[in-house]
Structure 1
Amino acid sequence: MCPSPLPTITKDILDVIDTIYAIDDRIAMFEAFCENMGKLVPISSAAFLPATPLAGNLILQNGLEFNVPEKNLRLFCTYYAPLHPFAMNGQIPELMDRCHNKAISLTDVIPASRLAETEYSRDFQSLHPIFYELGGALGYHGKPVGRFGLHRTRKDRDFSKREKEIVTLLMPHFARALHEFEMKGGNGFRKTGLIMTKADGHPLYMDNEAKRLVKGPPWKTIPIAGHGADTASFLTEEGRYHVRREAAAKSTIFLDLLPVENSLKVKSKLAGFGLSRRQEEIAWLVVLGHSNREISDRLFIAEQTVKDHIYDIFEKIGVRRRSELTAKIMGLRAEGEE
């Protein structure tokens, strides 16, 4: 369990979230994110390092800096990362890998008095200079996106509990945005919608695309995804949209609204995987968000037969779960795919 407190979502927090999704340039988005977040959580600098999709190893390429010289980021990656107190405490990397999108401060791991005596602080932090750090592992749909850190100088105060809560709330949005850039090769976002709700379905945030598609309270339009089936879908005036559900923080849910290609295009793709005609039917119904029971009723076959067909479909297409199947058929890059 990785409990994450949920602070009251103020207009200032919503403004930062809007900034994350409004800018279609990765570097400009990071700079605007840091500047706007800095009004709520003052920082002197910040940095982000991507992680390899499966192992979660940090890589320098495509790193992002805010008031951090690139040479310092390179020095951190090549030498000082293993000396960071997070890395020296064996439980922290494990916690970060298990608990994506939870902010942890450096002084949660080591007292400030002891931090000042470490090689990391004496030889690396003094170069910048930084002292207090707040960071964490970013993840999207259970896969690592990278790690990022927010910094303050020794003359500043440490990060407060409230500030950690705010950053924890923003981290899933930052992770999602970076993931979207990666899927588009850094060239901007797909045209998707985002709704953030409480566990009971009460909406906390809807981006402009979601508002345009839903046109009213989301619970009246969008089926619940992730309860009994991995996927769900709904029909708009522009076509069908797939709903992908992700637990973002304590009592908070992300609903990604992804456009589904028309049936002719999708069925043309399915024909290339060597599926039987029945398997193509079932794969298409999975994309549309139907559960095994619903597919069974629709095709007048046993539910176990549906499960057997889906197992064979996964084997032929080379996926392990419904979300990966949907991503592959829709032409997206599934999480964890190079």
Structure 2
Amino acid sequence: MKDPLNASKQQVLGLVNSLYALQGEELISDRVLASLQEFVPFDAGALYQIDRTTYEIAQGKCSGKDAGLIRAYLQKHASTDPCSLSTRCPTRLNQPSKLSSVLARHPDAALTVQRARTRFGFEHALTVVAGWRGGAIALLRLHRRASRSDFTDHELELIGGIAPHIAMSMVFNEANDSHSAAPQTGLLALTGDNQLVYANDSVQELLSEAAPEAIRYLAESKSVWRSQGDRVFRLRILPLGDRSLLSWIDREARALPHCIGQGKAAPVIVIAVEPIQRRQALATRLVHSRLSRREVEVALCVMRGLSNADIAAELSIDEKTVKDHLRRIYGKIDVRSRTAMISKVLGLEAELTAISASATSPRSPQQRTRSPSPELEQC
């Protein structure tokens, strides 16, 4: 007789191997949900993709005899469900959490959750955010009715093992490999009075160069940041809607002592600090601007700082041909100069903006020792 634990491990290996052979996220989602039903049975399951620009839960697939149940539940309760919120921290990728364990840690949420569970007819739930290289790629959610047993530690271990492969297979099946070389996005959250309440590892080093309020100013003015190490970052303010993976930040921050009493007039602002890829993704961006292969080569030479004469020598063409290529390039991407072309190809709407001397001046001792709230660091 086969050991059920070893049998499930073999099924997991078979599923993992099959994922990398599939083409397209929809096929991957179908395979994941169908295979999981064999060794982690569920009444309703869902695998939602995550928008890597906004961190919001996007379209997804539902499965199981009660597929409509999970779809309706998540639509109505995604923003308050403790099992989902407990796994939505960027530091908790590929770490499954089950509803019963969350409620044991947060008994104050039990009554609200019990009402929802009774209404929708389920008792047990398991959630995991599948991630790769610090990025959240997909949200997996499984439900069981009260007539079934709760998810076991072994089942959580199996889901935790397969989660990173769900993420990697989705990334590797994309049309380009720009995500494979992309460094992790920095995330920081500030209260209305610029108190730092969250910062992930990718932004900690940069916080030694500029005060949070300076970063906020650049984000709100849609500028970019050239760091002391001459790296360039795009700054974006992220929405915190009900379907955002980062919505827990606003909820937790409002509960901090210095935020109580400020009410809705002082929402938390979350800023993404994105390293601008100067080379890896440039060719892809240029192709998307309808440039020919030769025009892409010329544009990349310009991005490297080469003169027309240098470009002509490198590509074995004359300078007049280089100028002709540049005129066509400028026309296709709607610019008039080399500088404007570089700025637009890098994805910048303005020239690179250096932080002023006042913004980069050393912070006060209080600022240097300020750290995210312990509650938020443990998210």
TM-score, with length taken from structure 2: 0.43
TM-score, with length taken from structure 1: 0.47
Say which one has the larger Rg.
2
